[in-house]
C-alpha cells in the first residue's frame, strides 16, 4: 500500500500546486506498471475549458503517450472523487483501478457541487432542467447503420 500512497501524494501535491497557479484544487496521476505515465491538473478557468478537469487532462496525456485510447493496465489516482464527466471518461478509457482522496461531499463543501448532475442523470430526459428536443432521428440513424455494417472499423 506504500506505493499507492506515494502516487496519491503526488496527485495531492499537484492539486495544491495548481491552486498557486490559479487553477482548481484537483490533481490526477495515471500509472502503468508502477510508473507515472501522465499527470493532470484542473485548468478549467485557465483554459476557459469546462472539460479541462485533472482526470480528463491526465487521460488525454496518457492516451497520447501510449498512442492508444484504451488505457487498460493503468490505474488513476485522483485528489478527489471524480465528477460524473470524469468518472465516465475513466470508464471509457478502460482504466483498471481508481484511487481517490477527497470525497464528492468534501468537494461540495468546498464549493464544487456536482450533486445536481447526479440527480439529473437519474431523471427521464423530459424531466431534466436542460431542455431536450429530438430532431431528425430518421436521418441520423444512417450513421449507426453504416457503422454496424462497416467491417474495417476499430471497436471501442
Q: Which of 103, 125, 99, 130 is nearest to 115 (CA)?
A: 103
- Cell readout for 58 is 491526465
CB 7 within 8 A of CB 99: yes
Q: Which of the following is catalytic: 55, 75, 138, 155? A: 55
Q: How many beta carbons lie within 10 A of that of residue 76, not counting itself?
A: 29
55 has catalytic annotation? yes
Q: How many beta carbons lie within 10 A of that of residue 150, not counting itself?
A: 8
- Cell readout for 100 is 481517490
Catalytic sites, residue numbers: 55
Amino acid at each position: 500500500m506504500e506505493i499507492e500512497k506515494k502516487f496519491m501524494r503526488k496527485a495531492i501535491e499537484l492539486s495544491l500546486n495548481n491552486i498557486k497557479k490559479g487553477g482548481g484544487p484537483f490533481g490526477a496521476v495515471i500509472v502503468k506498471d508502477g510508473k507515472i505515465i501522465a499527470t493532470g491538473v484542473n485548468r478549467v478557468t485557465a483554459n476557459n475549458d469546462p472539460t479541462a478537469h485533472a482526470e480528463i487532462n491526465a487521460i488525454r496525456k496518457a492516451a497520447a503517450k501510449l498512442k492508444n485510447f484504451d488505457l487498460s493496465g493503468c490505474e488513476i489516482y485522483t485528489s478527489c472523487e471524480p465528477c460524473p464527466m470524469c468518472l465516465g471518461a475513466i470508464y471509457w478509457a478502460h482504466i483498471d483501478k481508481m484511487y481517490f482522496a477527497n470525497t464528492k461531499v468534501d468537494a461540495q463543501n468546498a464549493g464544487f457541487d456536482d450533486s445536481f448532475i447526479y440527480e439529473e442523470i437519474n431523471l427521464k430526459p423530459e424531466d431534466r432542467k436542460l431542455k431536450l428536443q429530438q430532431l431528425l432521428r430518421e436521418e441520423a440513424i444512417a450513421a449507426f447503420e453504416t457503422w454496424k455494417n462497416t467491417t474495417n472499423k476499430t471497436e471501442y
